[in-house]
Amino acid sequence: MKVFLILWVTPIVLLGSWYGLSYYDMNFGFRILSRDLHDLVFTIYGNLLGIPPETIPPLVLKAIILDTFLVIGFIVIKRRRKQIWAGMRRMLGWTESREDAMQVPNSAEAEYSRIS
C-alpha cells in the first residue's frame, strides 16, 4: 500500500510543483520552469484537445480530486473489509454462524471425496 501511495502522490507533487513555479515564473535559471514554456505546453495541449488552454488546469485539478477520492475509497475498503462484509451480512439478514454456512456431507460423499 505504501508503494501504491508513493506512486500516486509523486506525479501529483511533481506536476503541482512545476505548475506553481512555472506559473509564477520562478525558474531559478531552468528553462523548464519558465513562464514561456508553461504557456507553450498548455497551448500545445489545448490544440491537441481542441479546447482553450485556460481550461486545462481546472480539468486537471478536477481529475486529481476525483483520483484522491478513489484512492481514499480504496484505502478505506482495504482497511475495513471485514467490517464492511459483516455489515452487509447483517443488512441482508444472513446468519453469522459457521454451522449454518457449512453443510456436513453424508458418509458416502465424504468417502468419495477422499478417494478422488
Q: What is the pTM of this model?
A: 0.68
Question: In Å, how far from its chain's centre is CA 76?
Answer: 11
Q: CB atoms < 10 A from the CB of 55, how many?
A: 12
For the chain (116 residues), the mean pLDDT of every run of 10, in chain order, is 92 96 93 94 96 96 96 90 87 68 56 56
pLDDT of residue 94: 81
